[in-house]
Amino acid sequence: MTHELKEQHTTNAGQDDLLVVSDLKKHFRLNRKTVLKAVDGISFSIKKGETLGLVGESGCGKSTVGRTLTRIYEPTDGEVHFDGLKLKGRLDGKTKKRINRDVQMIFQDPYSSLNPRMTVSEIISEGLVIHNPDMSQKDREKRVHELLLLVGLNKNHAGRYPHEFSGGQRQRIGIARALAVEPKFIVADEPIAALDVSIQAQIVNLLKELQEERGLTYLFIAHDLSMVKYISDRIAVMYLGKIVELAGSEALYEKPLHPYTQALLSAIPLPDPEKERTREQIVLTGDVPSPTDIPSGCRFRTRCPFAMDSCAVIDPEFREVEPGHSVACHLYDAEIMAKEGKELKTV
Amino acid sequence: MTTIQPNDGDFKNLRSQDRPAEPSADLFVPQPLDSTVREELAAPAPTFWKEAWERLFKNKGAVVSLVLLIILSAMSLIGPSMNEFTYREQHIPHSNLPPKVAGLEWLGFDGKDVNGVDQYTQRGVETNYWFGTDEFGRDLWTRVWKGTQISLFIALVAAFLDLVIGVIYGGISAYYGGRIDNFMQRIIEILTGIPNLIVIILFILILEPGIRSIILAMIITGWVGMARVVRGQMLQLKGQEFVLASRTLGASDSRLMRKHLLPNVMGPIIVTVMFTIPTAIFFEAFLSFIGLGLQAPLASLGVLIEDGYDAIRSFPYKLLIPAVVISLVMICFNLLADGLRDALDPKMRK
């Protein structure tokens, strides 16, 4: 068993990776003919205590990635290695229980993520009831009070109902619920998108503090690029079910390689009016193609300003072009560029 | 602990500082902010059900209906045993006596028929029949309350079927979704496609007409409305993030149903039950009226109305009394259902 585990670790990635995802796919069959490829073969790894930001337009499949990792959805294909566990296909009861404990999720909409008929204390202690049924009522209550304090609420809130709280407070309750079972890995599915800006910073700071205190690992899904940069160590950019670029957050913002990333980053407004006036924005033409009908070759080619003949034929490989910076684009592939007779883009 | 004795100089100094010549704004020292005190609530938060109760009690129509329904149900239980007659005992010499109640003559309960003749003195009848008698001399008071009993029993059965078959069917259909849902919904469509009357007539072909065939017909189609309501609500709830959160925590199907889905559809369920009940009561009365329901000598409000309808010119009381009772029951259930809907779903209120 230990030998097997070791082998997995050495073959897949370094020792300190908490989560290694390889070629994960999630397809939804809509009817007999159409299949919606929400996630279409993505691979990445997250180190212990690290935050990976996942950005992309709405509908690109980032939430589906999160939900597949928490096993709300069963993946169609692919392998996930989590903390020494190999997760592939249907899980047996014991593994499922461990995943339900170790992987938690924070949701986008603080208004629909709390059951309106339950008190805060019932909401937070649900995980405790499921995973430690032997815990006494008193201990459970004590734990709920601790968790409330931890997320910046207080124990007087325990007996109240969700409608009595503001959006930011509700999100804190959601975080407390996720922390109740002491997870190792948290998927934050746009936890700040529904909050107003002043509260966004509070919640992000709370998540950061909790990470430092408890060594949590996050997958932070968002579409707000500036917030993602602030919280993430590395950022993955998704387009139509695939990761097109993955790099350290500084590197990605300073030197975006993929044309899609460049377009995304150029859309961030600058706080300086002088610079803002001269800001060059790459405007993409057309709409995102439907995930039920993905273009051949490179899936970004229909909107790419640099599209070449090869792009329609060959699906670009997701490769590391410099240490820690991977991209899926032919512009950085010497072989293809030579064939096209164009100059290779230098990194 | 060591106490430090302030020397005189310190004390004077303090006093002179503390006591300025003129009162000024500096005198007001802000109370330190204590978040735990600030967040404390004097009363516990009202639960959803408590609030709903309060809203229901503010609705006069609903409260009056509730009280009337309680009185009517109590009467249906104790009414038949309030006098010495039974619902089936015939006494031909006392046939077709108008209602007479001592002390209520001014309300029309004076024992006089349509021609103004006091039948009681003319025929020398000693006992007062409160609601009069029918053509066989059966006491209508007993028969009306017996009939109310039947109507309320039908109401109970309808509510029970709605709650058991309707809720479970709709819940399963929505919860498992996909092919199961598709299949179950097609069955419902077939069931609603067959008119109720055809179903009951088919049952009467096999069984004899009576309460059993009515209940069987209701088992087949009576719960369809509820199943649809529950399915719609559940489908909406199933995608809500709190259900997903509970699933990421590993909640079992039964826990999800009990703790998250059912409590949130309870409001619509109660309202639908309350609206099904008058429909079911009317269904039974209608069947009895056209002769497909309860058979003589059993009394139901529909049977009594049908008997009264035949003699409407000469003995209008025979029609009037059961008609008033069944109208009361149906209006009360409808008003109560209305009140409950407003109480349970304040957003629906105009």
Taking CA atoms, what residue in A is nearest to B35? A154
Q: Is the four-CA dihedral A244, A247, A252, A255 of positive or negative sign?
A: negative
pLDDT per residue as tens, chain A (347 positions): 444 444 333 334 456 888 999 899 999 988 888 889 999 889 999 999 999 999 988 888 889 999 999 888 889 988 899 888 888 878 888 888 888 899 999 998 888 899 888 889 999 999 999 988 888 889 999 999 999 999 888 888 888 888 888 888 999 999 999 999 999 999 999 888 888 888 888 889 999 999 999 899 999 998 878 888 889 999 999 999 999 999 998 999 888 999 999 988 888 888 888 888 888 888 888 888 888 888 888 888 888 888 888 888 888 888 888 888 999 988 888 788 887 777 777 66
What is the distance between the alpha carbons of residues A307 and A329, in angstroms, rounded to a whole number? Answer: 10
Beta bridge partners, A322, equal: A325
What is the distance between the alpha carbons of residues B164 and A107, in angstroms, rounded to a whole number? Answer: 34
Asked if A150 contacts A142 with a C-beta cutoff of 8 angstroms, the reply is no
Q: Give B234-260 pLDDT, tens digit per residue.
A: 999 888 889 999 988 988 888 888 888
Q: Give B135-151 pLDDT, tens digit per residue.
A: 887 888 888 888 888 88
Q: Where are the beta strands (DSSP E) in chain B?
A: none
Taking CA atoms, what residue in B is nearest to A101? B249
Give the one of B35, B45, B260 whose C-beta lies nearest to A115's C-beta.
B260
DSSP state of B162: I
Q: Give B21-49 pLDDT, tens digit per residue.
A: 566 667 777 777 766 666 666 666 677 78
Q: What angle do CA B219, B222, B228 make, to 5 degrees?
A: 120
Does B264 sit within 8 Å of A116, measured CB to CB? yes
Does B264 sit within 8 Å of A115, measured CB to CB? yes
DSSP state of A165: S
Residues of A whose CB is below 8 A from B41: 156, 160
Q: Provide the residue count of chain A.
A: 347
- Spell out a b/e string for A304-333, using b for 16 or more CB atoms within 10 Å of the CB, else e: beebbebbeebbbebeebeeebbbbbbbbb
Asked if B144 contacts B329 with a C-beta cutoff of 8 angstroms, the reply is no
Residues from B contacting A (CB-CB < 8 Å) are 35-36, 39-41, 44-45, 47-48, 240-242, 244-251, 255, 259-260, 263-264
Beta bridge partners, A218, equal: A51, A186
Residues of B whose CB is below 8 A from A103: 248
Q: What tokens were used for A12?
A: 């897949």
Cis peptide before A259 (omega within 30 of 0): no
Q: How many CB pairs under 8 A join A and B?
A: 79
Amino acid at A2: T
Among left, alpha and beta (phi > 0; psi -120 to 50; other), residue B99 is beta
Strands A35-47 and A217-222: unpaired
Closest residue by Cα to residue B168 from B252, B226, B235: B226
Q: In this predicted structure, what is the pLDDT of residue B183?
A: 92
Give the one of A101, A107, A156 whose C-beta lies nearest to B245's C-beta.
A107
Asked if A125 contacts A180 with a C-beta cutoff of 8 angstroms, the reply is yes
Q: Is the pLDDT of residue B16 over 60?
A: no
Q: In this predicted structure, what is the pLDDT of residue B42?
A: 63
Question: DSSP labels for B235-279?
Answer: HHHHTSHHHHHHHHTT--HHHIIIIIIHHHHHHHHHHHHHHHHHH
Q: Give A189-215 pLDDT, tens digit per residue.
A: 988 888 888 888 888 999 999 999 989
What is the distance between the alpha carbons of residues A17 and A262, in angstroms, rounded to a whole number? Answer: 29
A15–chain B Cβ distance below 8 A for any pair:
no
Q: What tokens were used for A20?
A: 């290694």
Structural domains of chain A ordered from first start = 2-114+176-255 (3.40.50.300), 257-347 (no CATH)
Residues ≥6 apart with Cβ < 8 Å to B188: B169, B224, B227, B228
Report chain B's terminal Cα–Cα distance, integer Å.
68
Asked if A74 contacts A85 with a C-beta cutoff of 8 angstroms, the reply is no
Strands lying side by side in the sheet with A217-222: A103-106, A185-189, A217-222, A51-55, A234-239, A242-248, A325-327, A319-322
What is the distance between the alpha carbons of residues B136 and A246, in angstroms, rounded to a whole number? Answer: 94
Give the one of B40, B249, B264 whose C-beta lies nearest to A117's C-beta.
B264
Tell me phi and psi for residue A57, to 5 degrees: -65, 165
Q: In this predicted structure, what is the pLDDT of residue A244?
A: 92
Helix (H) or strand (E) holding A218: strand A217-222
Residue A314: CA atoms inside 13 Å, Cβ hemisphere, count? 16
Taking CA atoms, what residue in A is nearest to B260? A115
What is the distance between the alpha carbons of residues A300 and A283, in angstroms, rounded to a whole number? Answer: 14
Q: In this predicted structure, what is the pLDDT of residue A188?
A: 92
Mean pLDDT of B90-102: 77
Residues of A whose CB is below 8 A from B47: 161
Q: Is the four-CA dihedral B345, B346, B349, B350 of positive or negative sign?
A: negative
Beta bridge partners, A103, equal: A185
Structural domains of chain B ordered from first start = 145-348 (1.10.3720.10)
Q: Is the pLDDT of residue B186 over 60?
A: yes
Q: In this predicted structure, what is the pLDDT of residue A14?
A: 55
Mean pLDDT of B307-333: 86
Does B242 sit within 8 Å of A181, measured CB to CB? no
What is the distance between the alpha carbons of residues A281 and A263, in angstroms, rounded to a whole number? Answer: 7
What is the distance between the alpha carbons of residues A287 and B106, in angstroms, rounded to a whole number? Answer: 83
A156–chain B Cβ distance below 8 A for any pair:
yes
Asked if A191 contacts A149 with a C-beta cutoff of 8 angstroms, the reply is no
Does B248 sit within 8 Å of A103, measured CB to CB? yes
A316–chain B Cβ distance below 8 A for any pair:
no
DSSP state of A344: P
Residues ≥6 apart with Cβ < 8 Å to A235: A52, A53, A54, A55, A228, A229, A246, A247, A248, A249, A252
Residues of B whose CB is below 8 A from A124: none
Q: What angle do CA A8, A12, A18 make, to 5 degrees?
A: 85
Does A104 sit within 8 Å of B248, measured CB to CB? yes
Asked if B279 contacts B195 with a C-beta cutoff of 8 angstroms, the reply is no
Q: Give B114-136 pLDDT, tens digit per residue.
A: 777 777 777 777 777 778 788 88
**A74-133 residues touching B, CB cutoff 8 A:** 96-97, 100-101, 103-105, 107-109, 112-119, 123, 126-127, 130-131
Residue B140: CA atoms inside 13 Å, Cβ hemisphere, count? 32
Q: In this predicted structure, what is the pLDDT of residue B350?
A: 43
Q: In this predicted structure, what is the pLDDT of residue B49?
A: 80
Closest residue by Cα to residue B65 from B339, B282, B345, B341: B339
Taking CA atoms, what residue in A is nearest to B41? A156
How deeply is B189 buried, as exposed, middle or buried, from its count of CB atoms within 10 A (0-12, 13-18, 19+)?
exposed
Q: In this predicted structure, what is the pLDDT of residue A20?
A: 92
Residues ≥6 apart with Cβ < 8 Å to B86: B80, B139, B142
What is the distance between the alpha carbons of residues B289 and B165, in angstroms, rounded to a whole number? Answer: 28
Beta bridge partners, A26, equal: A39
Q: In this predicted structure, what is the pLDDT of residue B348?
A: 53
